[in-house]
Amino acid sequence: MKNIAVIDLNVFVRALLTSGIDKAIYEAIKREKIIPAFCPDMLENLAKVLIRPHLKLDLRDIKESLEALRMRALMVKPETKITACRDASDNIILETAIASNAKIIVTNDRDLLILNPFHGISIVTPRQFLKIIKK
């Protein structure tokens, strides 16, 4: 069984802007070592963020990246509403993790990291996640 993980949108944005750890996670998804779990709202939010002019990302690269994620993703529709996060916009990450039966959430967001573990789901940084999947 492949690793199903909910990967926060901030990781994907950084993956397209840098060549560090976040990029390694994106590459692992493209090599199908990780199955990212998404809900439709998460993908829509990611698309909205990536087209922001200040990021200066090429529209073709954005489309290719989103298509690569869609092709490899486990798409779910969360049915359980959660209000555990200080930042209400982060609750969708938790809802998606529960709906997908993910064992792990990967994020750079401290508001999510402080909830580790959440209902038996580990919440880790990208660096921690890479160490886990290399085992």
Question: Each residue of 86-106: pLDDT tens digit?
Answer: 989 999 999 999 999 999 999
User: Rounded distance, CA 135 to CA 95, Å?
Assistant: 27
Look up the CATH number of the domain holding residue 115. 3.40.50.1010
Closest CA relative to residue 69, chosen from 121, 11, 108:
11
Share of the chain above pLDDT 90, in %: 70
Residue 56 belongs to what domain range? 3-134
User: Rounded distance, CA 96 to CA 103, Å?
Assistant: 11
pLDDT surpasses 60 at 23: yes
Confidence of residue 45 (pLDDT cuts 50, 70, 90): very high
Per DSSP (E only), the strands in 39-135 are 74-75, 104-106, 122-124
Across the chain, mean pLDDT equals: 91
Confidence of residue 1 (pLDDT cuts 50, 70, 90): very low
Which pairs count as long-range contacts for 30-34, CB under 8 Å and 24+ apart, including other chains? 30/68, 30/72, 32/2, 32/72, 33/2, 33/3, 33/133, 34/2, 34/3, 34/4, 34/5, 34/7, 34/133
The total of structural domains in the chain comes to: 1
Mean pLDDT to the nearest integer, 8-13:
92
**Coil/strand/helix, residue 51:** coil
> If you count them, how many residues does the chain have?
135
pTM listed for this prediction = 0.91
Q: Report yes or no: 112 and 91 within 8 Å, Cβ to Cβ.
A: no
